[in-house]
Amino acid sequence: MTPIVNSIQKDVLNLFPAASPTNIQMLAIPGILKCRLEKTSYKTFILAAETGSGKTLAYICPVLHILKMEEQNLEGANDLRCRGKPRCIILVPTAELVQQTHMLLKRMSHTVKFRPSFVMSGCSWNFIKENVLTSVCDILVATPFQIYKFIEEKKLSLDQTRYMIIDEADTLMDISFRSIVLSILNSAVHLKLLIFCSSVVSQKYERFLFQHYSDIYKIVTPELHTISKRISFRLIDAQKAFKNNKKMACLSILEKIAKCNVSKKVIVFFNERKNSDEFSRFLKDKGFNAFSLTKYTKDRLNNIHNFIYDNFYDKSLSILVTTDLNSRGVDTFDLKNVILFDLPYNHVDLIHRLGRIGRAGKTGKAYLIYGKGENHEWIRKIRESIRIGKPLI
């Protein structure tokens, strides 16, 4: 596993010089390798840990190790690496996560020597043909709909696919994605390893997996469903100080953040797209550097990339106004502030929204704005659960 360790140190940890393995990494990496290399009956895994805990590396490291071991143990290693037949597939729910995961793999590939590729909406046919369908691809990162389409059209074969990761699995196994994901899994008839990875394990999700897979090995951290102690959670009562005007309450928070000598990137979460777009225009009219990002935003990937990575040392206020589209998985490692303009629909959405901060050992501040007519009892219980470190689910 030495090349993989070297790659992590050289290509990943340069952003986090004081980093050490997280709980999920210390549990998952040896756990998966032990079960696979000792050829136990387990080939299906549930990986679950709190947001921002390094779950992506927790599954990438053992899978990469297994892929490289296969190449070493097989004399005709080229037989493993066939054009248009990926050896491993990572499914994620959004194009943003495709891009993010592929970027991590691409950085590691220079040291470990493997070929990653990706498929998502917006990719040209020429790109897909040249980089996936007619080229060697060790690890393919994709959204389910794109993979499903090429399998149905018999343009992509899963004959060589032995390893599959379903990332953000609580989302991908929900009703909107489930049938397509299961169809893809059924097409990979030679699977040796299947990993379901998520930061939320609801009873419904877990029950479904155990009903369909009898050989599941569950790897879960003790902190699952809790909010990190590195996050300062503040309730803002718009009724008292702002006459129930949540816009003015949010403006007040943004003005205070603008005066702080820290990273001033902020995400403001709404429940509905139309409200996100409207509030972004409102902020721009007030002179703020703000933009809205929803599923209909043009050039969405460049916008989120610029928000996260560009002007890394810029201390000016930058505001992303969005919905739950950008609450799952996206690695906002330099983000310090999250504002929940709308009360989340449920605990799962709350966990994902707050999970945009406090990542990779860093601190963050979360503000929940509430007003007249909202569920104050639910808000009070949430605050108390976060204060004492109680799981929200």
Q: Which pLDDT belongs to residue 3?
A: 66
Query: What are the chain's domains?
Result: 2-220 (3.40.50.300), 231-388 (3.40.50.300)
Q: What is the pLDDT of residues 253-309, one digit of tens each?
A: 999 999 887 778 899 999 999 999 999 999 999 999 998 887 766 667 777 777 776
Q: In whole angstroms, what is the distance from residue 328 CA to residue 354 CA?
A: 10
Mean pLDDT check: name the lowest of 219-228, 319-328, 329-338: 329-338
Q: Which pLDDT belongs to residue 298?
A: 65
Q: Which pLDDT belongs to residue 42?
A: 74
Closest by alpha carbon to 325, among 280, 294, 282, 368?
294
What is the distance in angstroms between the CA of the first residue and the CA of the last residue of the chain? 36
Q: What percent of the chain has pLDDT over 90?
A: 67
Band of residue 333 on the pLDDT scale cut at 50, 70, 90: confident
Q: Which pLDDT belongs to residue 75?
A: 55
Residue 250 token pair:
């949010």
Q: Cα 60 to the chain's mean position, in Å?
A: 14
Is 190's pLDDT higher than 60? yes
Mean pLDDT check: name the lowest of 58-62, 120-124, 144-148: 120-124
Residue with tokens 């929204």: 353
For residue 41, give every residue at least 6 positions away whose Cβ sits within 8 Å of its Cβ, in sequence order, or none: 215
Q: Cα 27 to the chain's mean position, in Å?
A: 19
The SS3 of residue 10 is helix
Is 138's pLDDT higher than 60? yes
Q: Residue 282: which H helix or E strand, with range?
A: helix 273-285
Residue 24 token pair:
């999920």
Band of residue 159 on the pLDDT scale cut at 50, 70, 90: very high
Q: What is the pLDDT of residues 344-376, one digit of tens each?
A: 999 999 999 999 998 878 899 999 999 998 999
Residue 312 token pair:
């890394």
Closest by alpha carbon to 280, among 292, 288, 267, 296?
292
Q: What is the pLDDT of residues 96-119, one digit of tens each?
A: 899 999 999 999 998 888 999 999
Band of residue 79 on the pLDDT scale cut at 50, 70, 90: low
Q: Which pLDDT belongs to residue 37?
A: 72
Band of residue 325 on the pLDDT scale cut at 50, 70, 90: confident
Q: Which pLDDT belongs to residue 173?
A: 95
Q: Which pLDDT belongs to residue 239?
A: 92
Is 313's pLDDT higher than 60? no
